[in-house]
Chains A and B, each alone.
Chain A
Amino acid sequence: MEQAQDALHIQPPLWPQILIMEDEMSVAKGLELVLSEEGYTVDLAMNGRSALDSFDRRDFDLLIADLRLPDIDGMEVIKRVKHRRPDTGVIVITGYSTVPSAVEAMKLGATDYLSKPFTDDEFMSAVKGALDEQKVLHAGAAQAAVAKPAVTVLEPLPEDLQQVHDIMAQIRQQFSGTREELIPMLQKVQNHLGFIPEPALEEIAHFTRTPAASVYGVVTFYEQFRLHPVGRHIVKVCRGTACHVKGAERILNEIETRFGMSPGQTSDDRMFTLETVACFGSCAIAPVVVVDDSVKGRMDPSKTSEVMAAVEPADLDPNQS
């Protein structure tokens, strides 16, 4: 038991290093306290310049960034940090929870967005989410060496954005705009477009009279929602217990070597986006792969490749994109 207690307190280099960039001393100290109580190693920077200096001195796993700083714009700091060390996690906090800044931060690769005031719990869950995501990225980066290039984040196409207007018109007819309709509305947008474009999110926030930052909070919490466009076909590999026992990992490896994608990525021709799911409830015919809406049971690595290779020639539907 003692050994375990020790283990929980051995910190560097195992525990994530976090930098808090915040000009309000009381807020910065408060966050530092919460984080260090939870066992993280924390540094403080009171302005943008000293944050960049800190990054010059050493790497941090996570940057917690206030956007409004006395010297440099917080967004600029994020941009430079991401440029230097792309896999740094970023959580944005701000008193001005305007959608455009949230969107810009997300585009720069921020994992989450918190608007003041927020609770310790909300803060800790955002921190944890950001660190988890990073872990996935690390794992992906290690494997990317063998694969063809894949894209992690796609930019929306103009035609996607044109459709937002129509979808929102439908939504305004179908829903009354209460808070509990938030998730169903977001689902409707995603069903149509495959992702939730920023203008739609903004309009839904307005329609439900919910702060845009809370809508972001909901979107980032649920695994289902995507803020970026996806490939023409979505391939989901089940990672549930039954599928794991029956070799799901081998299927993922195959897709990785053949198509150059790790989970969350889109192939560079925008053909496929690869996702994993915790269980499709078809465990009796494991391992399971779902291509678009079609569930395929009893798969193996080579069958998966075949199915994926056969997707496009079979439905050369020019309207489908």
Chain B
Amino acid sequence: MSYSAIKAKAEKQWDWLENLPQPLIQLGMGTCGRASGADDIMRSVQQTLKELKLLARTMEVGCIGMCYLEPLMAVRKPGRPFIVYGNLTPDKTQKILKRYLMEDDPCAKWSVCSIGKDRIDGIPTFEEHPMLGAQVRIALRNCGLIDPGNIDHYIARRGYSGLQRALDMSPAEVIEEVKASGLRGRGGAGFPTGLKWEFARNSLKDTSTIVCNADEGDPGAFMDRALLEGDPHAVLEGMLIGAYAIGAAQGFIYVRAEYPLAIERLIKALADMHACGLLGDAVLNSKFRFDIQIKEGAGAFVCGEETALMASIMGRRGMPHARPPFPAQSGLWGKPTNINNVETFSNVSAILQNGASWYAGFGTEKSKGTKTFSLAGKVQRTGLIEVPMGMELREIIYSIGGGGPKGKQIKGVQTGGPSGGCIPAERFDLTVDYESLASVGSIMGSGGMVVMDQDTCMVDMARYFLTFTQAESCGKCLPCRLGTHQMLDILEDICAGNGTPADIDLLADLSETVQKGSLCGLGQTAPNPVQTTLRYFKDEYEDHVLRHKCNAGACKPLFHYEINEELCNGCGVCLRRCSTGAISGKKKEPHRIDSTKCTKCGICYQSCKQQAVAIL
């Protein structure tokens, strides 16, 4: 089919949806939504509509990024904007539908914002919402707004116009366009995408292969999952454009096995593409021939590394190998191979749709465009965001993220996963781009941001990351294998209360040895979490080794819980929730903790509304 034919069909459908004479109810059915009970909400909606004998349409959408409010629902009456409601329960859902659809009460107190042209009294618009307003959504342009299982929705919102534009250009022109946009790879290293494509194209022997890296192994990062679940075609279009540019006829998407919903969405998307003539022997009636296969990962972090990923696709152990040869020279089955990240491809399709100079208008001089981040940990508004490169951390964490949990002080943020570092709150004036994050010893990485507050122990964080890297080290070189092992031993000692001041110096020295002596990226960056915590949170290390105290209440041998009798009002919540029976006390009288029975599980500390449980 030609592009104009599929476009005409898609626009017709979108028009119909836009001008629906009945109410339209959208439900966020991404993994976060489902994990928070979206299925129950869907049932409640259907039941309520039946009870009220109301004709309304329901539609599944992906994640809009406000995961902290899941499950979410958006309701649109004909001729009005959508109203988004969050933190739903089946009961609340029923009330909202009854009141808004039958009595025209928009239930402003339960609403989050409105999406659409007009405004509704008492409800902030999308642009006014503190989490959404400051964002610039390019990679995530459709997430949460379209049905990801419906290719027409994507096409109606200019989808595949970028591909059509690329097909009207020569491959070399497409590469020039991507180069001019300044786009750098979003998988971690930030290598210029256009340049990478040029290498792949130049080493063209016979046919080459293009791979989309959807392994997303960094713990704490979920941008790629949300993107694949919420708008798979944005990624697939980018992949087609890349394939055309480098001259590939075959593509693979390597997806983590932990992402079943993303895989499901991709399977549907590929089938729809075949039906529309977007894959196969003559893509959009051109001479370009291309097909895509899905490869499911099998749970090995190192398979996100490109050479390991290729070994895995070929059915082998996913062991990285030294480069050169680079994948562009000799990759899958010895053929030139180009690997890009999910988000990189989603940006590519936007660039071809809107032009390189439009894209280059966002961001900083060296880091163009936008970056998605997954905001998690001790921050009020957790979720998925996309901001222009160069935004200050402060704005991301306080304005968009809403700061720390009530009454808690934010200590820092961890960026870049196990290869990244911990940035202290005093440095939140830092801007996010590849260079400035590196300047404080962290990295951009794929975009995970885990916020930490006073209840997070930084020594424990360093230990945690080393447990991870030590286990994932492939064992090839001595500094990485034994060095991370020894660093972990020292950190475990410190967390167990057996550390000495000399250990701190030793840790610093070892970090340097491992960093300088390791062969690959994993080992070279493994000390980052230790080095940054040593640099910015040395006092906590000293508390552990000199005073044998863990003030955050994370290292069990170094603290205990006590109830402050003046603050305790004897409500009994802690007593009921304690699973070992360590708490006693009469109702309305101060309670006590029996330290011989206490396992320090922390449930009393977390559940006390009076904050009467103290860490000592």
Taking beta carbons and an 8 Å cutoff, which residues of A are in contact with B?
1-5, 7-8, 14-15, 38-39, 121, 124-125, 127-129, 132, 178-184, 186-187, 208, 217-218, 221-225, 238-247, 250, 253-254, 257-258, 277-286, 288, 293, 295-298, 300-302, 305
- Distance to closest chain A CB from B289 (angstroms): 21
CB of B211 within 8 Å of the partner chain: no
Known: A3-B505, A244-B464, A297-B32. A38 touches B312 (CB 8 A): no
Chain B CB count within 10 A is highest, among A3, A38, A178, A278, for A278
In the complex, the answer to whether A3 meets B300 with C-beta atoms within 8 Å is no
Docked complex Cα distance between A298 and B33 (Å): 12
Given the known interface contacts A14-B486, A221-B317, A241-B448, the answer about A285 and B298 at a Cβ–Cβ threshold of 8 Å is no
B378 near A245 with CB under 8 A, answer yes
Q: Which of B370-391 contact A (CB under 8 A)?
A: 374-378, 382-384
**CB-CB contacts below 8 Å: B500-519 with A:** 505-506, 509-510, 512-513
Question: A241, B417: Cβ atoms under 8 Å?
Answer: yes
Question: Complex Cα distance A191/B603, Å?
Answer: 36
Q: Contact partner of A283 among B376, B461, B513, CB < 8 A? A: B376
When chains A and B are docked, how far (Å) is the Cα of A300 from the Cα of B577?
A: 11
Q: Which of B476-514 touch A at CB < 8 Å?
A: 476, 478-479, 481-483, 486, 489, 505-506, 509-510, 512-513
Contact partners of B219 in chain A: CB under 8 A: 238-244, 278-279, 283
Residues of A within 8 A of B461 (CB): 244-245
Interface contact A125-B225, CB-CB below 8 Å: no
Among the listed stretches B15-23, B139-147, B200-208, B255-263, which one makes contact with chain A, having 4 or more residues with CB under 8 Å of it?
B255-263
Evaluate contact between A285 and B512: CB separation under 8 angstroms: no
- Cα of A55 to Cα of B288 in the assembled complex, Å: 66
Q: Which of B4-34 contact A (CB under 8 A)?
A: 31-32, 34
Decide if B258 touches A285 in the complex (CB within 8 Å).
Answer: no
Q: Once A and B bind, how many residue pairs between them come within 8 Å at the CB atom?
A: 217
Other A-B pairs, 5, CB within 8 Å; known A183-B296, A225-B298:
A187-B296, A208-B315, A240-B220, A242-B450, A283-B382
User: Which residue of chain A has the shortest Cβ distance to B262 in the bound complex?
Assistant: A281
Which residues of chain A are within 8 angstroms of B260 by Cβ–Cβ distance? 293
B68 within 8 A of A: yes
CB atoms of B34 and A253 under 8 A apart: no
Question: In the complex, are the beta carbons of B32 and A258 less than 8 A apart?
Answer: no
Contact B450 A245 (CB under 8 A): yes
Cα separation A159 to B93 with both chains bound (whole Å): 45
Contact A302 B603 (CB under 8 A): yes
Determine if A302 and B577 form an interchain contact, defined as CB atoms under 8 angstroms apart: yes
Interface residue B468 (Cβ < 8 Å from any Cβ of A) = yes
Residues of chain A within 8 A (CB-CB) of B525 are none
Main secondary structure of the interface of B (DSSP, over half): mixed
Contact yes or no, A224 B299, CB < 8 A:
yes
Question: Is B36 an interface position by the 8 A CB rule?
Answer: yes
The 4 closest A-B pairs by CB, nearest first: A240-B219, A128-B475, A284-B67, A4-B509
Residue of A nearest to B511 (CB): A4
Q: Report chain B residues within 8 Å CB of A285.
A: 32, 35-36, 67-68, 70, 382
Which among A39, A280, A300 has the highest number of chain B CB atoms within 10 Å? A280
> A250 near B601 (CB under 8 angstroms)?
yes
State in angstroms the CA–CA spacing of A279 and B446 once bound together.
14
Chain B residues lying within 8 Å of A295, measured Cβ to Cβ, are: 31, 34-35
CB-based nearest B residue for A187 = B296
Select which of B225, B414, B481, B505 is within 8 A of A241 by beta carbon.
B414
A247 CA to B256 CA, complexed, in Å: 24
Which of chain B's residues have a CB closer than 8 A to the CB of A2?
A: 509
Q: Check A257 against B599 for contact (C-beta < 8 Å).
A: yes
In angstroms, Cα B224 to Cα A39, docked, is 40
Contact A246 B377, beta carbon cutoff 8 Å: yes
Query: Shortest CB–CB separation between residue A40 and chain B, in angstroms?
Result: 9
Contact residues, B314-365 vs A (CB, 8 A): 314-319
**Contact, CB under 8 Å: B464 / A280:** no
**Residue of B whose beta carbon sits closest to that of A133:** B471
Taking CB atoms, residues of chain A closer than 8 Å to B67 are: 282, 284-285
When A4-B513, A279-B258, A283-B450 are in contact, do A14 and B489 touch as well, CB less than 8 Å?
A: yes
* Residues in chain B near residue A208, CB distance under 8 A: 315
Which of A1, A218, A254 has a CB less than 8 Å from the CB of B315?
A: A218
A283-B316 in contact given A4-B506, A125-B475 (Cβ < 8 Å): no
A-B contact pairs, 18 of them (CB 8 A): A4-B509, A8-B479, A14-B489, A124-B475, A179-B316, A184-B296, A221-B300, A222-B300, A222-B318, A223-B298, A225-B298, A241-B220, A254-B579, A281-B221, A284-B222, A284-B375, A293-B260, A301-B603
- B193 contacts the other chain (CB 8 A): no
Is B177 in the interface zone, CB < 8 Å from A?
no
B549-586 interface bits toward A, Cβ cutoff 8 Å, 1 = contact, 0 = none: 00000000000000000000000000001011000000
Residue of B nearest to A210 (CB): B315
